[in-house]
Structure 1
Amino acid sequence: LGHSTGDAILTEVARRLTSAISPHATVARIAGDEFVVLDSTTESPTQSVVLAERILDALRDPMKGHAGDMFVTASIGVAYAVPNLRLSAEDLMQHADTAMYRAKSAGRNCIALFDDSMLENVTKRLDVETALYRALERNELRLVHQPIVDIDLGIVIGFEALMRWDRKDSGTVSPLDFIPIAEETGTIVPLGSWAINDALQQLRSWVDTGVCTPSTTMSVNVSPRQLHDPEFVTIVSNALDASGVSPEQLWLEVTESVMITEPTQALSSLRRLNALGVRIAIDDFGTGYSSLSLLQKFPIQCIKIDRAFVNDISTDSATQNIVRTIIAMAEAMGADIVAEGVESKEQLQTLKSVKCHRAQGYLISPPVDVQDVPRVVREIQDPEAWASNTN
Structure 2
Amino acid sequence: MNAENKDPRLGQLVDSIVRLSRGELSSRIEPSDARDEVDAVITGFNLLAEELEQVYDQFEKRVESRTAMLRQAHRDMKKMAMSDALTGLANRVALMEALENALAETANGAPPPALILLDLDSFKNVNDRFGHDAGDRVLQEVGVRLNGVVRASDVVARLGGDEFAILLPAASMEICMRVARRALEVLGEIIELEDLQVHPRASIGVRLGDPQQSADDLLLDADTAMYAAKREGRNIIKVFEPVMQYSRQLRSQMAAELRAAIRREELVLHFQPLVELATSRIIGLEVLVRWQHPVRGLIPPDVFIPLAEEIGVIHDLDRWVMSTSLRHLAEWRRELQLDDDFQLQVNLSAVELKQLDLVDYVRGLLRETGVPASCLVIEITESAIVTRGEVEMYSLLSLQQLGVGIEIDDFGTGYSSISYLRELPVSMVKVDRSLLVDLDTKPGQFGFVSAVLQLIRAAGLEAVCEGIESKEQADQLRAMGCASGQGFYFSRPLPIEEIKALLATHRYLSLPA
Shorter-chain TM-score range: 0.7 to 0.9
Q: 1:19 to 1:194 in 2, by over 3 A?
A: closer
Q: Which amino acid aligns with 2:177?
A: V
Question: Which residue of 2 is the match for residue 302 of structure 1?
Answer: 428
Matched, 1:193 2:319: yes
Provide the secondary structure at the position in 1 that maps to 2:269: strand
User: Deviations along 1:280-333, whole A, 9 cap, x unmatched?
Assistant: 111111122212332111111111121122233234452222222222223223
Residue from 220, 223, 228 that aligns with 2:354: 228
1:113-262 correspondence runs (5 A): 113-262=239-388
Q: Which amino acid aligns with 2:379?
A: E
User: Deviations along 1:326-347, whole A, 9 cap, x unmatched?
Assistant: 2222322332222211111111
For structure 2, list consecutive stretches of 5 or more residues without a partner in the other structure.
Answer: 1-129
Q: 1:41 to 1:339 in 2, by over 3 A?
A: same
Per-residue deviation at 1:354? 1.8
Question: Aligned partners of 1:361 and 1:157: how far apart in 2?
Answer: 14
For structure 1, list consecutive stretches of 5 or more residues without a partner in the other structure.
Answer: none
For the aligned residue pairs, the C-alpha RMSD in angstroms reads 3.0
Query: Structure 1 length normalisation: TM-score?
Result: 0.86
Question: Aligned partners of 2:471 and 2:321: how far apart in 1?
Answer: 32
Q: 1:137 to 1:65 in 2, by over 3 A?
A: closer
Q: Which amino acid aligns with 1:76?
A: I
1:207 and 1:214 in contact (8 A); partners too: no
Residue from 199, 203, 207 that aligns with 1:79: 207
Q: Which amino acid aligns with 2:327?
A: Q
Question: Aligned partners of 1:357 and 1:8: how far apart in 2?
Answer: 47
Matched, 1:270 2:399: no
Residue from 11, 16, 20 that aligns with 2:149: 20
Residue from 87, 90, 98 that aligns with 2:224: 98
Per-residue deviation at 1:167? 1.7
- Range 112-121 or range 245-254, more displaced: 112-121
Per-residue deviation at 1:358? 1.0
- Range 67-76 or range 365-374, more displaced: 67-76
Counting matched residue pairs gives 384
Share of identical aligned residues, percent? 35
1:211 and 1:374 in contact (8 A); partners too: no
1:159 and 1:217 in contact (8 A); partners too: yes
Provide the secondary structure at the position in 1 that maps to 2:244: helix
Q: 1:30 to 1:198 in 2, by over 3 A?
A: closer
- Range 240-249 or range 259-268, more displaced: 259-268
Per-residue deviation at 1:170? 3.3
Question: Which residue of 2 is the match for residue 38 of structure 1?
Answer: 167
Matched, 1:290 2:419: no
1:52-91 correspondence runs (5 A): 52-56=180-184, 73-82=201-210, 86-91=212-217
Q: Which amino acid aligns with 1:36?
A: A
Question: Aligned partners of 1:21 and 1:150: how far apart in 2?
Answer: 61
2:289 and 2:321 in contact (8 A); partners too: yes
Query: Structure 2 length normalisation: TM-score?
Result: 0.67
1:24 and 1:41 in contact (8 A); partners too: no
Question: Which residue of 1 is the match for residue 94 of structure 2?
Answer: none
